[in-house]
Structure formats: C-alpha cells, structure tokens
C-alpha cells in the first residue's frame, strides 16, 4: 500500500533569540512541519545544504541583515527556489514594503506576530491555504 500522507515541509528558522527561536520551532512542529533553528546567518548559510522549503529570517541579526541574506538566497541558482519570510520589530510600513520588494521575500511579519499569522503566511506560500468562503 502506498503512503499517501503529505511530505512534511522543512522550515529553517534564523533567529538569534533562543526563546523566540524555540517558540517558533515549537509552533511549526505542532502544526506538522519539520523545523530547525540557526542563531546566526553564518550557521544558516551552512544549513542551506539541507534544502529547506522555507526560511523564516529575523531582519536584525548579530552577524548581518536578514534582507541581505534573503537577497543572497535569491541571487544563487542553488537556493533561489527557497521561499523566505522576513520579520522584524520595526513597525514602519514603508520599511516593510521596501524590505519585501528588494529582498525577494514572499512575506514580511512585524514582531510581535500571532502564530496564526505565521502559519497563514506559510500556507499561502506553499499553496496550502484554506480560504474562507
């Protein structure tokens, strides 16, 4: 008998706050995703060899900028197909829009955000969103 269950999507969390990273990973695992965490952009670059489906990246990282990391992903043919979600505590609509437009990210969330917002963004990106009629 063939296994018809959907393949769990792999999500890389790039967040320097251990508490925030843990909370995001727990939320994603509870929603049925595989999640793993990197505390720096350098470790995230190494982790890309695991071929994540989505990278969730904090804009403000100790070793660089999440927007620049996203641009790197999109400019490399080996990683260009990885979907990205950027998030930041900066609450400036212009900054959010410019970050999204220039980075190639599929979504931008402002901290603090609800788990439902994150999961909805992931489902939309993966094409698994359940739209209300």
Note the pLDDT tens digit of each residue in 88-101: 887 666 666 666 67
The fold of 10-126 is Rossmann fold (3.40.50)
What is the sign, positive or negative, of the torsion defined by CA atoms of 109, 114, 115, 117?
negative
Residue that has been written with the tokens 């990210």 in this structure: 105
Within 8 A by CB and 6+ apart from 8, the residues are 32, 33, 34
Q: What residue ranges do the domains of the chain occupy?
A: 10-126
**20-59: pLDDT as tens digits:** 999 999 999 999 999 999 999 999 999 999 999 999 999 9
Strand bridging mode 64-65 / 60-61: antiparallel
């Amino acid at each position: 008998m063939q296994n018809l269950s959907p393949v769990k999507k792999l999500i890389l969390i790039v967040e320097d706050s251990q508490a925030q990273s843990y909370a995001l990973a727990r939320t994603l695992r509870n929603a049925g995703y595989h999640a793993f965490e990197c505390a720096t952009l350098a470790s995230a670059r190494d982790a890309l060899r695991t071929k994540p489906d989505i990278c969730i990246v904090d804009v403000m990282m100790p070793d660089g900028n999440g927007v620049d990391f996203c641009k790197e992903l999109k400019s490399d043919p080996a990683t260009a197909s990885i979907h990205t979600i950027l998030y930041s505590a900066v609450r400036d609509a212009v900054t959010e829009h410019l970050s999204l437009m220039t980075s190639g990210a599929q979504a931008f969330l402002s901290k603090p955000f609800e788990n439902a917002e994150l999961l909805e963004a992931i489902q939309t990106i993966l094409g698994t969103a359940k739209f209300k009629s």
